[in-house]
Amino acid sequence: MAKILVLVNSGPTEKLKVRSGLTFARVAHDQGAEVRVVFLADGVRVPLAQDPDFDEALTVLSERGIVPLVCRRILETSGAPLELPGFEVTYVGADLVRAVDEGFQILSF
């Protein structure tokens, strides 16, 4: 079984990249892969965007039991809210290292 971590580094202005990553995560999951999603860099702004396209794609992931991680450090430095329902806000560095140790392939969008 494939183990895939989708790393969303692109922000809301790069809608095609973000949607591609979220759609890929869904397809990979539906094909039997173990999937994780992490928002990092400009990607941390995606959960804050309140964009219907993103909301729909994130709802589909949530229905599949995928809870995306959002980098707490970046949210802290940007002054953004640290409470994001439906997401796990955490310092993601250790999570990324652990995913590599566990054999996850990282695909960046």
For residues 70 and 61, give the distance between their C-alpha atoms in angstroms, rounded to a whole number: 15
The 10s digit of each residue's pLDDT in 18-33 is 999 999 999 999 999 9
Mean pLDDT of 53-82: 96
Distance, in Å, from the CA atom of 82 to the CA atom of 94, rounded to the nearest integer, reads 18
What is the domain-level CATH number for residue 52?
3.40.1260.10
Please tell me the predicted confidence (pLDDT) of residue 4. Answer: 98
Residue 78's pLDDT is what?
92
Angle (nearest 5°) at CA 48 between 43 and 53: 80
* pLDDT higher than threshold 90 for residue 81: no
**Beta strands 88-90 and 105-108, pairing class:** unpaired
Number of domains forming the structure of the chain: 1
> What's the pTM value of the predicted model, to 2 decimals?
0.95
Tokens describing residue 89: 């806000």
Whether the predicted pLDDT of 87 surpasses 90: yes
On the question of pLDDT at 104 being above 90, the answer is yes
Residue-number span of the structural domain to which 42 is assigned: 3-108
